[in-house]
Structure 1
Amino acid sequence: MTARSARLNGYLFVVIAAGGFGAMPIFARFAYAEGVDLATMLFLRFAIAAALMTLVMLLWRLRWPRGRDLWLLIGMGALGYVGQAYCYFAALRYATAGLTTLLLYLYPAIVTILAAVLARRRLSGLRLAAVLAALFGAALAVGDSIGGSPLGIILGVGAALIYSVYILVGARVTDSAGAIPGATVVMLSAAAVYGGIALAQGMTLPHTGAGWAAVAGIAVLSTAAAIAAFLAAMKRLGAADAATLSTLEPVITIVLAAIFLGEAIGLRQLLGGAVILAAVLVLTRLPKTSA
C-alpha cells in the first residue's frame, strides 16, 4: 500500500468513526426515551460491542495483544474511557451542554501540541492554524448556551485531557497490536468496569424493541465500528491529524439531529460546520504527523 492510499484510507476511517460517534447522541436520546438509565446504557454499549469484536477476533483468528500492549489497552478502556465519561457527564451537572462539548473538543489541540512535544518536532503554523480553526468551528457549532461554574470547567477540561492521553497511547499501541485487537481489549475492559457500576446502582433495561434497537446502534455503530475505525485512522494519519479531523463529529450530530429529531439548524451551526470542513480540507493536504 502506498503512502497516499494509506492516507486516503485513513480519511475514510476518520469519517466512519466520526459518523459513529456523531450518531451516538441521537441513539442515546431514543434509548433514554425508552427508559434506559446512563449506567446501564454504558454497560450495554461496551458489553455488546465487546462480544461482537471478540467474535470477529475468533472468526478472523487474530492474535490477542500481550505483555505491555495488553496492559496499556486495558488501562485505555478501564481508566481512559471510564475517566473521560465520568468527567464529561459530571461536567454536564455544573456547566451547559454547549460549554461541556466545547471543552471536550479542546482535545485535538492538546493532542497536536503534546504529539509535537513528545516527538521533539516543530509544529507548523499551517497545522496549528487548522487545529485552532477546527476548535473555533466547534465553538460556533455547539450553539449560544456557553456557561458554567469553575467545577464544571475543570471537569470539562479533565475530560479533554484524559481523552488526549487515551489517543496518544492508542496511537503507539495500535502500531503493534492492531486496530481490531486493540479495540476489542479496550471494549472488554470498559465493559467490566461499567458492569460493576451498573450492578452496584441497579440496571434499568430497555422496555421495548425500539429501546434495544437504540442500544444496539450505540454498541455496533457508535462503539465497535467507531473505535476500531478511529484506531485504524490513527495508524495511518497520526494521532494529531486523526483527532483534529474528528471535529467532524459535532457537524454530523447536528445534521442527524435535524433529520431524525427535527432540531433546527441555525446560521451559527452552518458557519461552524463550514469552518470545520475548511480546516479538514487543509489538513488533508499536509503530510502525516509522526505521532
Structure 2
Amino acid sequence: MLVVIASWLVFRHRPSRTTTLCLAVAVLGAVLTAGQVGAGSAAGVVFMFAAACWYTGYILVSSKVVQKVDSFTSITVVMFGASAAHILILALTNSHLPSDGKGWLATLGAAFFSTVIAMGFFFAGVRIVGPGEAAVLSTIEPVVSIVVGVTALHESLGIVRVTGAAMVLASVAVLARSAGMSGDDAGQRYSER
C-alpha cells in the first residue's frame, strides 16, 4: 500500500482504479492469510512501520535504478551491500557463522534461492510493470508461505486463511490481466520516465 501511495506522490504515477481495488483486496487478503496476530508491543509496531517505510523507499529507488542498469548489475550491488552490512553486524556482535558443511550449504542455498534469484525476478518485474504494481503482485508471498507450510510442514489450513489466500490470488490475477499491465505498455511507460 505504501509503495502505491509513495509512487503516486513521488513519481506522479496515479494508480488506476484496478490497481487501487486490487491493492485493497490484496492487503485485506494478506491480513486474513497472516491469521490472528498477538497484541505486540508499541516498539514492535514502530519497527514494523519503519521497515515498511524503508522497503517502500528501496522499491522506489530500485524502480529508477533498474531502468538505467541491467538486473545483474543491480543484484550484484544489492548483494554486496547486504553482505557488507552482515559482515559489519557479525563483527560488532557476538554472532556465529555455521560450524559445518551442512550449515554452510543451507546458508548458501538460502542466500542463492531466496535472495539472489528472488531479487532478480523482483527487479525484472519492477522494470516491466513499475513499483506500485510490483508491490501489489508481491503480496502473493504469504500465499506461497501457506502452500509450503501446508504441504511441507503439515500446518492446518482454516477457512479464514483460505479466504485470504483466494483474495490475494484473485487480486494478483486481475491485476496481471488488466489492460494497463501488458508487458510492452508497462515497459514503455516506465522506460520513458
Size of the aligned set, in residue pairs, is: 183
Structure 1 Cα separation of the partners of residues 14 and 92 of structure 2: 48
Indicate the residue corresponding to 1:150 in structure 2. Answer: 42
> 5 Å matches for 1:175-254?
175-254=67-146
Residue-by-residue CA offset, 1:68-117 (whole Å, 9 max, x unaligned): xxxxxxxxxxxxxxxxxxxxxxxxxxxxxxxxxxxxxxxxx111111122
Aligned to 1:247, the other structure's residue is in SS state helix
Task: Please identify runs of 4+ aligned residues in structure 1 that moved more than 6 A.
Answer: none
Residue-by-residue CA offset, 1:24-48 (whole Å, 9 max, x unaligned): xxxxxxxxxxxxxxxxxxxxxxxxx
Structure 1 Cα separation of the partners of residues 176 and 100 of structure 2: 43
AA paired with 1:176? K
Change (3 A) 1:234 1:198: same
Aligned to 1:246, the other structure's residue is in SS state helix
Indicate the residue corresponding to 2:2 in structure 1. Answer: 110
**Deviation of the 1:144 alpha carbon:** 1.3
**Deviation of the 1:158 alpha carbon:** 0.7
Change (3 A) 1:232 1:151: same
Q: CA RMSD in A?
A: 1.7
2:147 to 255, 261, 271: 255
AA paired with 2:10? L
Residue-by-residue CA offset, 1:190-227 (whole Å, 9 max, x unaligned): 11121011122234233454433321221110111111
Identity rate, percent: 34
The TM-score with structure 1 as length reference comes to: 0.59
Change (3 A) 1:141 1:185: same
The TM-score with structure 2 as length reference comes to: 0.87
Quick check: 1:283 aligned with 2:178?
no
Indicate the residue corresponding to 2:21 in structure 1. Answer: 129
**Deviation of the 1:121 alpha carbon:** 4.4
Structure 2 Cα separation of the partners of residues 121 and 236 of structure 1: 15
1:269 to 161, 172, 175: 161
Quick check: 1:165 aligned with 2:74?
no
AA paired with 2:63? A
Structure 2 gaps, min length 5: none
Structure 1 gaps, min length 5: 1-108
Quick check: 1:140 aligned with 2:32?
yes
Change (3 A) 1:118 1:263: same
Indicate the residue corresponding to 1:95 in structure 2. Answer: none
Residue-by-residue CA offset, 1:141-197 (whole Å, 9 max, x unaligned): 111124222221111111111000000000100111111101101110111121011
